[in-house]
Amino acid sequence: MKKLLGGLNEDQRRAVETTEGPLLVLAGAGTGKTRVITVRTAYLLNAGVSPESILLVTFTNKAAREMRERLKKMVGKKKAEQLTCGTFHSFCIRLLREHHEKLDLPEAFGICDGSDQMTAIKGALRELRIPEQQVNPRAAQSRISLYKNSCVSPDQAIDEAADDWELAVAHCFRKYEEHLRRSRVLDFDDFLLFAMRLLTEHEEVREQLEERYKYVMIDEYQDTNGPQYGIMHAIVRGHRNLCVVGDDDQSIYGWRGADISKILGFEKDFPGADKVHLGINYRSTEEIIDAANKVIRNNPKRHEKSLRSALGTGSSIPILRMDDETHEASYIATEIEALVREGSNRYGDIAILVRTAQQPRAFEAELRGFDIPYKLVGGMSFFDRKEVRDILSYLRLIANPADETSFLRIANIPARGIGKTTIDKVVTAATETGTGAFPTFRRLVEDGTIGGAAAKGFVKLRESLNVAHAYAQQGDLVFTVTELLNLIEYRSEVDRIYPDDQTRELRWNGVMEILNFAENYQRKDKKPTLTGFLEALTLDESDRKDKDDGDNDSVTLMTLHSAKGLEFRRVYLVGVEEGIMPHIRSATEGTVDEERRLMYVGVTRAQHELSISYCAARAKFGKLVPCHPSRFLFEMKEKTPPDDWMAAGSTPPPPPPVRKKAKRRARRRRM
């Protein structure tokens, strides 16, 4: 026990030792949050709590894995493997698979991922004859998700629609839901909603969980949304042994329904809760912490607190004005090249953090130009690649014959002469009769409405997939995938579509990569199933990342959102301009505070050196337009922006808030 607590500061220790009753741990960036959670878990175990009684909820699967690894070292493999540790989503899925019959769900329900959602929404809009320029599918998707997370039903949404746009989206919502249910799939929001329903409608299940999980811990509590809160609350409301850990200043998922008021109001939700504030930052120099504090204190609604650095002074933070994004990228690439050449940094020490998904473009070009190894985190996922989605759609259809999105997608893959017209006929007929797309397809072929050998052949192919299903049942996934590839002659399809040798190989590699995943999964999982395999791929972003993730020495290029929780010796925070950070949309949506938190997250990723830059102009839609330094930079320097700062015509932004500094203090103290 002694040993466990050794090395913890007073606050950390208090958080670990407060095991009974509700506890709020406010853990600023870099204050040893993960350490506290793992030690607290180990502490509970050492005190005799059974590992089965502990529920540990993390924000990502990666975090869950790492947590478990750490615990293995502290309490042994056995115990670490017995505790329940995962994201809300994976926890809920497990629950739903176990209790599927209570909710009238098939056991092997499929998962509708983001891109399937988009397909489904576009389909719904088309059925409703709503042109996409009237309702942007993307906007519809996010609104629908918002409805779902606030437990608004389609009918309610229709009733309460305030204008035409909302009405259109609400109808789209209804169609979308019908589509999901018909396809027997759940989207990400559904996991939570169905789990919530399970707990409300089946008291015995709720009691069973409450009985089992006597100690519950939630990490990244600031990112918890309504349904997640409901689920958690249902489990702990009896014993109230709940420990939530988070930082309201790092709440950056409001757009995804995360509800920052939950962490702000924790003490109201759980009267008598203990509160521990971890305020000592072990990650960054004083300059960096100081900058972070100065920015974040401009947010009105937050737990009052500020960070102190345990590291002492370091170097000052340059704020650099660049001509445009190309200049910014080449400047930074040059600097990185020099730093590494002279030995002050390794590539792996360095991260370039961006706000938006298109910013990396310029950097990729320059980094490549300088032969600097880099890895781009986020961006187009492996699973957005056409060939990968093709195969996956087939696999989903094999696992879940009702999956309409997948069925419609593969109907003409490889191209077999089943075009838009045919599909439209099928969809219309299917909607009218309320039958599934494939039965409808078969019926239309049989009664001659759709003719042709192509259609007949496809019916046959579709039926032979049932055979594949049988293999899959036996758990031989590699065999299933291989057979599938043969059956649909996918290799020749790839050869046909990509005449260029290089792309062809690239594409085929994507296909082979799925085989690798399957092989891996099959080897690691005790009871491999196709459904489980697809679930693992869809749910766990980090599983898909190339294995080179860890140790190879390269510069990290990523968005601020994916940087949360990480740290780097040297960080370049780029494109810090009005309209980018804060993002243009935040003004109309009233989310500038969240943008500020994003800035705060970015600044606090840096351990020793932080360099901030903004551009005087930037190419937008192929045209160069002037930009202005972000208000956050003024806040950081405690200056007021000049009156003409954003004035329309004042082309090149007025004063760079400040330039590099000359007075450099003893760089010694930071070890």
Partner DNA sequence: TGTGTCCGAGACGAA
Partner DNA sequence: CTCGGACACA
Catalytic residue among 11, 113, 189, 220: 220
Closest separation between CB of residue 465 and DNA, Å?
19
Stretch that binds DNA, among 157-165, 354-362, 477-485, 658-666 (CB under 7 A): 354-362
> In the stretch 98-127, what mask flags binding to DNA with x, by CB under 7 A?
----------------x-------x-----
473 is catalytic: no
Sign (positive or negative) of CA dihedral 543, 548, 549, 550: positive
Write out 440-509 in H/E/C secondary structure: HHHHHHHCCCCCCHHHHHHHHHHHHHHHHHHHHHCCCHHHHHHHHHHHCCHHHHHHHHCCCHHHHHHHHH
Does 299 bind DNA (CB under 7 A)? Our answer is: no
Choose the binding region for DNA from 11-19, 70-78, 237-245, 349-357 (rule: CB under 7 A).
Answer: 349-357
Taking the C-alpha atoms of residue 566 and residue 606, their distance in angstroms, rounded to an integer, is 9
Question: Stretches 302-310, 311-319, 333-341, 351-359: which one binds DNA (CB under 7 A)?
Answer: 351-359
Q: How far is the CB of 285 from DNA (least distance, A)?
A: 27
CB of 480 to DNA, least distance (A): 25
Q: Does 418 bind DNA (CB under 7 A)?
A: yes
Q: Does residue 256 belong to the site contacting DNA (CB under 7 A)?
A: yes
**Under the criterion CB under 7 A, does residue 502 sit at the interface with DNA?**
no
Using the minimum distance from each CB to DNA, give the nearer residue, 256 or 297.
256
The residue within the footprint of DNA, chosen from 188, 407, 521, 600 (CB under 7 A), is 188
**Is 334 assigned a catalytic role?**
no
33 is catalytic: yes
How many CB atoms sit inside 10 A of residue 492's CB? Answer: 10
Q: Which residues contact 425 (CB under 8 A, 6 or more apart)?
A: 444, 449, 450
List 420, 460, 527, 663, residue binding DNA (CB under 7 A): 420
What is the distance between the alpha carbons of residues 332 and 430, in angstroms, rounded to a whole number? 56
E runs forming strands in 222-365: 242-246, 274-278, 280-281, 308-309, 319-322, 350-354
Kindly identify the residues of this chain, within the stretch 34-93, that bind DNA according to CB under 7 A: 60-61, 87, 89-90
Nearer to DNA, 505 or 589 (CB): 589
Cα separation, 226 vs 208, in Å, equals 22
Q: Name the one residue in this structure whose structure tokens are 């243009």.
A: 584
Please select the residue that binds DNA; options are 2, 10, 129, 133, rule is CB under 7 A. 133
Q: How far is the CB of 13 from DNA (least distance, A)?
A: 31
Query: For the window 563-602, what string marks contact with DNA as x by the rule CB under 7 A?
Result: --------------------x-xx--x-x--x--------
CA angle, 345 as apex, 341 and 351 as ends, to 5°?
A: 115
Marked catalytic residue, from 113, 187, 190, 219? 219
The reply to whether 419 sits near DNA by the rule CB under 7 A is yes
Q: Is-contact 273 52, C-beta < 8 A? A: no
* C-alpha distances out from residue 481 to 465, 475, 494, Å: 11, 11, 16
CA atoms of 536 and 402, how far apart (whole Å): 20
Q: Helices marked H in 84-113 — which ranges? A: 88-98
Structure token pair of residue 237: 């409301």
Q: Please say which residue, 255 or 479, places its beta carbon nearer to DNA.
A: 255
* Active-site pick, 12, 41, 250, 559: 250
Nearest partner of 378 among 404, 355, 396, 400, judged by Cα: 355
Shortest spacing between CB 60 and DNA, in angstroms: 5
The angle subtended at Cα 579 by Cα 573 and Cα 585, nearest 5°, is 115
Give catalytic residue positions: 33-34, 219-220, 250, 605
Contact residues for DNA, defined by CB under 7 A: 60-61, 87, 89-90, 114, 122, 131-133, 136, 138, 141-142, 145, 188-189, 254-256, 355-358, 378, 412, 415-422, 450, 452, 539, 541, 559, 561-562, 583, 585-586, 589, 591, 594, 619-622
